[in-house]
Amino acid sequence: MRRSDIEQVRSLPLFREMTKTHFSTLMSAALLQKFPARTVLIREGELPDFLHIVVEGTVELYSRWEDRETTIDIIRPVTTFILAAVIQDDVYLKSARTIDAARILMIPSEAIRDIFGRDAGFARAIVSELALRYRGIVRVLKDRKLRTSVERLANWILAMDRSEGGGGRIVLAHDKRTLSSRLGMTPENLSRSLAILGDHGVEGTGREIVIVDREALQRCAKPSPLIDG
Amino acid sequence: MRRSDIEQVRSLPLFREMTKTHFSTLMSAALLQKFPARTVLIREGELPDFLHIVVEGTVELYSRWEDRETTIDIIRPVTTFILAAVIQDDVYLKSARTIDAARILMIPSEAIRDIFGRDAGFARAIVSELALRYRGIVRVLKDRKLRTSVERLANWILAMDRSEGGGGRIVLAHDKRTLSSRLGMTPENLSRSLAILGDHGVEGTGREIVIVDREALQRCAKPSPLIDG
DNA sequence: CGACGATTTGAATAGGATCAATGGGAGTGG
DNA sequence: CCACTCCCATTGATCCTATTCAAATCGTCG
* Per-residue pLDDT tens digits for A27-60: 999 999 999 999 999 999 999 999 999 999 999 9
Residue B120 has pLDDT above 80, yes or no: yes
Residue A1 has pLDDT above 90, yes or no: no
Residue A64 CB coordination number (10 Å): 17
* The predicted structure's pLDDT at residue B7: 87
Burial class (CB in 10 A: 0-12, 13-18, 19+), B59: buried
Q: Which nucleotide shows the minimum CA-to-C1' distance to residue B151? A: C15
What's the CA gap between A98 and A57, in Å, rounded? Answer: 8
Average pLDDT in the B32-49 region? 94
Paired with A95 in beta bridges are A62
Average pLDDT in the A208-228 region? 96
* The predicted structure's pLDDT at residue B148: 96
Average pLDDT in the B208-223 region? 96
What's the CA gap between A59 and A80, in Å, rounded? Answer: 10
User: Residue B49: pLDDT band by 50, 70, 90 thresholds?
Assistant: very high
Residue B176 CB coordination number (10 Å): 15
pLDDT tens across A57-110, in order? 999 999 999 999 999 999 999 899 999 999 999 999 999 999 999 999 999 999
Mapped onto helix, strand or coil, the DSSP state of residue B99 is coil
* The predicted structure's pLDDT at residue B14: 92
What's the CA gap between A9 and A53, in Å, rounded? Answer: 9
Question: Would you say the C-beta of B186 is within 7 Å of strand C?
Answer: yes
Average pLDDT in the A214-222 region? 96
* The predicted structure's pLDDT at residue B8: 86
User: In chain A, which residues from 158 to 187 place their CB closer than 7 Å to nucleic acid strand C?
Assistant: 175-177, 187
Residue B5 has pLDDT above 90, yes or no: no
Cβ of A147 within 8 Å of Cβ of B65? The answer is yes
* The predicted structure's pLDDT at residue B4: 83
Q: Are A146 and A211 in contact (CB under 8 A)?
A: no
Residue B6 has pLDDT above 90, yes or no: no
Residue B57 has pLDDT above 90, yes or no: yes
Cβ of B65 within 8 Å of Cβ of A140? The answer is no
Percent of chain B with pLDDT over 90: 87
pLDDT tens across A98-132, in order? 999 999 999 999 999 999 988 988 988 999 999 99
- Reported residue count of chain A is 229
* The predicted structure's pLDDT at residue A5: 81
Distance A191 CA to C10 C1' (A): 13
pLDDT tens across A156-210, in order? 999 999 999 999 999 999 999 999 999 999 999 999 999 999 999 999 898 999 9
Residue B1 has pLDDT above 80, yes or no: no
B46, B142, B186, B224: which to substitute to probe chain A, counting the most A Cβ within 10 Å? Answer: B142
* The predicted structure's pLDDT at residue B64: 95
Average pLDDT in the B195-219 region? 94
pLDDT tens across B133-171, in order? 999 999 999 999 999 999 999 999 999 999 999 999 999
* The predicted structure's pLDDT at residue B54: 94
Q: Which nucleotides of D are covered by protein (CB under 7 A)?
A: 8-13, 17-22, 27-28
Q: What is the mean pLDDT of chain B?
A: 94
Residues of chain B found within 8 Å of residue A63, distances taken between Cβ atoms = 142, 146, 226
Residue B129 has pLDDT above 90, yes or no: yes
Paired with A32 in beta bridges are A105
Complete domains list, chain B, with CATH: 3-145 (2.60.120.10), 147-228 (1.10.10.10)
Helix ranges restricted to H, chain A: 3-10, 13-16, 20-29, 83-88, 109-118, 120-146, 149-163, 176-182, 187-197, 214-221, 225-228
